[in-house]
């Protein structure tokens, strides 16, 4: 891993073996405010997230990686 571009958030999602629905539920649980569609557009790079939104998405992904025995590979900024 080590993807850096914001539009590669979806690569992290795939690596984390999360469906879009699962990611949205985790994102919502962590306080995310975007709709499911907006989140999906964001991970594909079609919407630019706010810094806070980016942090929540990264946290949702990183917590999943932690569950899988990994670290926090997704950059927060």
CA distance linking residue 39 with residue 57, whole number of Å: 8
71 is an interface residue for another protein by CB under 8 A:
yes
The SS3 of residue 29 is: helix
Token pair belonging to 68: 């899988």
Q: Does 72 bind another protein (CB under 8 A)?
A: yes
One character per residue 22-41, x = contact with another protein (rule: CB under 8 A): ---xx-xxxx---xxxx-xx
> How far from 6 is each of 24, 48, 73, CA to CA, in Å?
17, 8, 13
Binding residue for another protein (CB under 8 A) from 52, 57, 61, 68? 52
Q: Is 20 in the site for another protein (CB under 8 A)?
A: yes
Regarding 8 and contact with another protein (CB under 8 A), the answer is: no
């Amino acid at each position: 891993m080590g993807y850096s571009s914001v539009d590669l958030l979806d690569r992290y999602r795939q690596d984390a073996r999360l469906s879009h629905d699962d990611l949205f539920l985790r994102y919502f649980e962590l306080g995310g405010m975007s709709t499911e569609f907006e989140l999906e557009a964001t991970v594909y790079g079609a919407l630019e997230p706010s810094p806070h939104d980016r942090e929540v998405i990264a946290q949702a992904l990183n917590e999943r990686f932690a569950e899988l025995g990994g670290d926090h590979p997704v950059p927060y900024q």
